[in-house]
Amino acid sequence: MAHDTPEFAKRRVTKQVNVGGVLIGGGAPISVQSMTTTKTADVEGTLAQIYALHGAGADIVRCTCNELAAAEGLAQIVPRSPVPIIADVHFHIEMALAALEAGVACLRLNPGNLRKPQEIKLVAQEARDRKVPIRIGVNAGSLHPDLYKKYGKATPEALVESAKMELAYFAEVGFDDVKISVKASNVPLMIAAYRLLSEEVDYPLHLGVTEAGPPPAGIIKATAGIASLLTQGIGDTIRYSLTADPVEEARSGRQLLEALGLRERKSLDLIACPSCGRAEVDVIGVASAAQKALEALNLPIQVAVMGCVVNGPGEAREADIGIAAGKSKGHLFIKGKVVRVVPESEMVSALVAEAERLVEEGVEARLAAADQNAEMEAEADRQALLGDKGIDANHAEEKIAAIRRRVT
Ligand code: SF4
């Protein structure tokens, strides 16, 4: 006999924030977040990881902004990232200002180590003017020293009070574009803190068990905390904090939401670049045509549609197969290696045909069948495009100059 899926507690009604186009709270689907482990200054390595995270189910990715080189990296990463980027800031207020210059979609501030009211208000003012939301990221492991003194240890009340102190500073400058987390590595403490917070404020909540550790124990701990709250209707965006490849974090988050019936299951996974100053084609048009054709086949693979051959195959090298636009040509690539160059008009049909063969024959066989001239032709196109638009097609240098003025 068929059963209707039983419903959990009604989701708590919250305000909504918009993180670079991903809505959080206010009835929006619960989103999955993860964080890169690369140095943010390593632009290419970080972008490849962001694409891998996106492919594994991350809707939003956070990168550390801990030094000048990281902020400068963000200026180059943001326009090329397929998902909105949040800058993670601790200790250094100028890193928050630099990240805003770099164009991030959101900031995460830790009230435990960014404590000067004047500085907090300065960042909030600037975020307000730029319409960039902030996550107040309270952490039991780095609680404000005054609150340690007051409560003797990290308690649910102490974590919630820390968030409310920050909210009060923000309110002084008329800023409330906020989401909040009160994470702890202790699951019962984390659950109690979020429950208390949800009774006191109506901002969207970012759930997580901090430093959950390596899988499988880390996944169990994180799931225990996050799932308990979600079934109580609490939580608007989630992150698994695992001591592992962050792809595991994104995958676990996605799978949890699917298991709870809070997000739809995916089989074909189509990712597309955001299309920046380098794009050579209408990425949205090609991506939707490819999606339509590939969805009918329901292939269990990850497919990337990339706007240019300068960076596309490298950025999406974790995808099984992809297509990147050259000068009126399409460059088909498998695991980042260009295997064939086709006329632009055949981009979608060639992609679909190759995807079918890839599923039938496997990656090794299709790499072995690669057109021997393809890589050379791709490199010539790459160079031609670099010549056309120069190295800095996204004007990241202007942002970097602004960042340097801020930080020095
Ligand atoms: S157009 Fe090229 S550089 Fe720009 S986001 Fe797409 S693949 Fe990356």
Q: Ligand 1 within 6 A of 280 CB?
A: no
Distance CA 138, CA 181 (A): 6
Q: Ligand 1 within 6 A of 273 CB?
A: yes
pLDDT digits (tens, 9 = 90+) for 77-94: 999 999 999 999 999 999
pLDDT at 135 over 60: yes
Residue with tokens 């393809």: 374
In this structure, which amino acid lies at residue 162? S
Residue nearest atom 7 of ligand 1, based on CA coordinates: 312
Q: Which of 50, 80, 81, 386 to mutate to test the pocket of ligand 1 (most atoms within 8 A of CB)?
A: 80
Q: Ligand 1 within 6 A of 98 CB?
A: no
Residue 116 phi/psi, 5-degree rounding, is -80, 120
Where residue 297 falls among pLDDT bands split at 50, 70, 90? confident
Q: Ligand 1 within 6 A of 274 CB?
A: yes
- Continuous segment of H or E residues that includes residue 207: strand 206-207
201 Cα–ligand 1 center, Å = 40
pLDDT digits (tens, 9 = 90+) for 19-50: 999 999 999 999 999 999 999 999 999 999 99
Q: In this structure, which long-range contacts are made by residues 390-394, counting pairs with CB atoms below 8 Å and at least 24 apart in sequence?
A: 393/276, 393/277, 393/278, 393/310, 394/76, 394/79, 394/80, 394/276, 394/277, 394/278
Q: In this structure, what token pair is assigned to residue 4?
A: 């209707």
Burial (CB count <10 Å: 0-12, 13-18, 19+), residue 109:
buried
pLDDT digits (tens, 9 = 90+) for 268-283: 888 999 999 999 899 9
Residue 289 CB coordination number (10 Å)? 17
Where residue 65 falls among pLDDT bands split at 50, 70, 90? very high
Nearest to 280 by CA among 376, 393, 399: 393
Three-class SS state of 270? strand
Q: Ligand 1 within 6 A of 314 CB?
A: no
94 Cα–ligand 1 center, Å = 29
Q: Which of 271, 283, 310, 331 to mutate to test the pocket of ligand 1 (most atoms within 8 A of CB)?
A: 310
32 Cα–ligand 1 center, Å = 23
Residue with tokens 């990296």: 73
Where residue 100 falls among pLDDT bands split at 50, 70, 90? very high
307 Cα–ligand 1 center, Å = 5
pLDDT at 13 over 80: yes
50 Cα–ligand 1 center, Å = 13
Distance CA 160, CA 284 (A): 42
pLDDT of 59? 97
Q: Ligand 1 within 6 A of 317 CB?
A: no
Where residue 4 falls among pLDDT bands split at 50, 70, 90? low
pLDDT of 71? 98
394 Cα–ligand 1 center, Å = 10
CB of 120 closer than 8 Å to CB of 137: no
CB of 84 closer than 8 Å to CB of 105: yes
Mean pLDDT value across residues 164-190: 97
Where residue 5 falls among pLDDT bands split at 50, 70, 90? low
Strands 106-109 and 134-139, bridge-based pairing: parallel
pLDDT of 251? 93
- Continuous segment of H or E residues that includes residue 88: strand 85-89
CB of 354 closer than 8 Å to CB of 347: no
Cα 236 to the center of its chain, rounded Å: 15
Residue nearest atom 8 of ligand 1, based on CA coordinates: 80
Where residue 354 falls among pLDDT bands split at 50, 70, 90? very high
pLDDT of 199? 97
Mean pLDDT value across residues 203-223: 95
Strands 31-35 and 60-64, bridge-based pairing: parallel
Ramachandran category for residue 341: left, alpha or beta (phi over 0 → left; psi -120 to 50 → alpha): beta
More confident call, 212 vs 17: 17
The set of residues, in sequence order, having a beta carbon less than 8 Å from that of 378 and lying 6+ positions away, is: 309, 313, 326, 331, 338, 341
> Going from the N-terminus, what domains does the chain have, and what CATH number goes with each?
17-259 (3.20.20.20), 269-389 (3.30.413.10)
Ramachandran category for residue 25: left, alpha or beta (phi over 0 → left; psi -120 to 50 → alpha): left
277 Cα–ligand 1 center, Å = 8
